[in-house]
């Protein structure tokens, strides 16, 4: 199961583009409302999550996605950090975009990894080899700069989950 965490203030493009692309690829993606089913994004778009945080089953997690936006700080709180820690300790890919890489960076999870983030958050990527690239994939981490990189981020995740051929097929169908 791919879980995408939604906290109030999430960046809509960064969250919903990966959900859309991955579902087009046939991947099973579940959106998780960190503080309830109804979640409001940074642009005041209300989204109904598939499940609440209490319904997330860590043992079936295949990949964890953390969108940025002002809500990214909620992802650094203990209940969510426990999920992130579980993913990291079990070799589960963690994909984070915009300001969200700062959460995993502050946890020390990006030590020695190539990573990118929204400009201004680089100091939070503790021990990482900070890159100016739109998207970086290194080991079990996929990081991206921001909303403008949402499609590239989504396709990097799709390639990891569904393979290059399927990701390229969906890219082509979407006229990307």
Catalytic residue among 25, 98, 117, 162: 98
Minimal CA–CA distance to 84: which of 102, 70, 68, 66?
66
Instruction: Respond yes or no: is residue 117 known to be catalytic.
Output: no
At a CB cut-off of 8 Å and minimum separation 6, what does 66 contact?
Answer: 5, 72, 75, 84, 94, 95, 96, 97, 100, 103, 104
Neighbours of 124 (CB within 10 A): 18
Active site residues: 98
């Amino acid at each position: 199961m791919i879980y995408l965490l939604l906290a109030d203030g999430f960046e809509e493009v960064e969250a919903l583009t990966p959900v859309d692309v991955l579902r087009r690829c046939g991947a099973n993606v579940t959106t998780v409302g960190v503080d309830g089913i109804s979640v409001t994004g940074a642009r005041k778009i209300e989204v109904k999550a598939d499940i609440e945080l209490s319904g997330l089953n860590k043992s079936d997690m295949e990949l964890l996605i953390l969108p940025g936006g002002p809500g990214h700080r909620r992802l650094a709180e203990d209940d969510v950090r426990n999920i992130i820690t579980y993913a990291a300790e079990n070799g589960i890919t963690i994909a984070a975009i915009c300001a969200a890489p700062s959460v995993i960076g502050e946890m020390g999870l990006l030590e020695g990894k190539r990573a990118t983030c929204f400009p201004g958050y680089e100091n939070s990527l503790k021990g990482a080899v900070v890159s100016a690239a739109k998207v970086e994939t290194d080991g079990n981490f996929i990081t991206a700069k921001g909303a403008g990189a949402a499609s590239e981020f989504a396709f990097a995740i799709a390639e990891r989950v569904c393979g290059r051929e399927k990701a390229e097929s969906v890219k082509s169908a979407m006229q990307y």
